[in-house]
Structure 1
Amino acid sequence: MLPVLHAAVTWTLVGLILTIQLVHYPLFSQVGEPGWPAYEREHQNRITWLVGPLMLAELLSAGWLTLRPPEGLPVWSLWLGLALALTIWVSTGLVQSPLHGRLSATFDAGLHARLVGSNWLRTAAWLLRGGLCVWWLWLLH
């Protein structure tokens, strides 16, 4: 049951990161200078309430699966999944969140480009995690 729930949370985050990376972040440059600070602050407030609980659920369930591996799943793949989740957390905390903080004062095209570019790491990590989850479910059935 936990692998199914874990996969559901992970794939929800895959869909969310693809929407952010391919739609939402690129559109930041279209907001305009006068409304930008309020827009960025509101983005941070709203996205945190959506992403925060999902990321926490994903990390906790990844840890649980790794520490108590279901029979039939390669342990190395569970550790890889956990490492990818931790990579996402580190990137979020050390790269994306600080960039959002700096962007909340004023729109800066260079910072925006760094945000979009650096976010590809999280996007790739979540896509890999999603692939692992599909593989795990296939192995378990």
Structure 2
Amino acid sequence: MTTNLDGAGDVAPVLVVVASVFVPSDAVLLALHLAATAAMFGLIWFVQVVHYPLFAAVGRDSFVSYETAHRRRTAFVVGPLMVAEGLTAVLLVVAPPAGVGLALPVAGLVLLGVIHMSTVWLQVPRHAELNEGYDEATVRRLVRSNWVRTLGWSGRCAIAAAMALVAS
């Protein structure tokens, strides 16, 4: 192989080497993706049916400090999971494992986009409002709007499991 990068033929082998070093095997990729997605699936259901509804029990006097701690600690837990899920979702679209095809990875990535848009446009603004103080109507809007993410991660978990099952 030459070091001349002017020709496309010279770059392709470099990309193959880089991909082989940084892209895990199909089995590892699918396992990492399923693990991250399943963790978010379980977490979002806990948040939806237990955590958010219990905001009312915190009390108005200590709610702002509670909400601040909630946001900081939640980011610490979900941040790495969301990064792992996002990276593996993109890799599954770019290089679908044998037997999986492209439809399931694309559907999963589209759902992930919906989840992230919901987070940015619906949940983050509600949390910003709650950071100013407890408001029952805001908590209700947060719980209602969070169903988008809850159902989205439920669908993603089913897709991730299906991909793991059909991969050859």
Equivalent positions of 1:93-112 (< 5 A) are 93-112=120-139
> What is the aligned counterpart of 1:30 among 52, 57, 61?
57
- Pair 1:68-2:92 in alignment: no
Greater relative contact order (Cα 8 A, min sep 6): structure 1 or 2? 1
1:16 aligns with 2:23: no
| Alignment-derived partner of residue 89 in structure 1 | 116
User: Could you tell me which of 4, 26, 32 is aligned with 1:5?
Assistant: 32
| Offset of residue 15 of structure 1 | 0.8
1:116 aligns with 2:143: yes
Partners of 1:6 and 1:61 within 8 A in 2: yes
TM-score (norm 2): 0.82
The one of 106, 129, 138 equivalent to 1:79 is: 106
Q: How many pairs were matched up?
A: 141
Letter in 1 for 2:115: I
Partner of 2:84: 57
RMSD between superposed Cα atoms in Å: 0.9
TM-score, normalization by structure 1? 0.97
Equivalent runs, 1:124-135 vs 2, <5 Å = 124-135=151-162
Runs of 4+ in structure 1 deviating by more than 3 angstroms, as ranges, are none
Q: Which has a greater percent of helix?
A: 1
Other structure's SS at 1:95 match: helix
The AA in structure 2 aligned to 1:40 is E
Q: How far apart in 1 are the matches of 2:101 and 2:54?
A: 40
SS in 1 for 2:134: coil
- Unaligned residue ranges in structure 1 (runs of 5+): none
User: Which secondary structure state, in structure 1, belongs to the residue aligned with residue 159 of structure 2?
Assistant: helix
